[in-house]
Amino acid sequence: MLELGEALTDGVVREVREETGLIVEPLELIELLDRIHREGDRVRYHYVIADYLCSVTGGELKAASDADAVRWVERAEWNSHSALRLDPVTVRVIEAGWQRAKALNSKSGEAK
């Protein structure tokens, strides 16, 4: 959640550090989406979620206090019917980020 007056990319850096122990540099916005939770006709919560492609620049991967574990996964684990169960929207966003990272890596390889 952004703090009052905090720039979006600054919030990304802070949240990732708090939740994963990693220091990142946001590269670009992958997707902006919202989740609206209703109770009958009343809107209870309305979240706006900005998913960024980031480059890891430091830190050490570790679970925050609200998680039991954290780990890196191979593409096949989140892009298939494996034991890792993810919301289809989450899979779509991760895949879009993976494809964009792959394109950026190809482009930087061509520039060398």
pLDDT values of the chain reduced to their tens digit, one per residue, 112 residues:
899 999 999 999 999 999 999 999 999 999 999 999 999 999 999 999 999 999 999 999 998 888 888 889 888 888 777 677 888 898 999 999 999 999 998 887 765 4
Does the pTM exceed 0.75? yes
| Sequence-distant (≥ 6) Cβ neighbours of residue 48 within 8 angstroms | 32, 33, 34
Q: Give me the pLDDT at residue 51, please.
A: 96
**Residue-level pLDDT at 111:** 53
Q: CA 98 → CA 2, 43, 47, 73, distances in Å?
A: 25, 33, 24, 12
* Structure confidence by residue, pLDDT tens digits, 15-32: 999 999 999 999 999 999
Listed residue (58, 7, 54, 50) closest to 27, CA to CA:
54
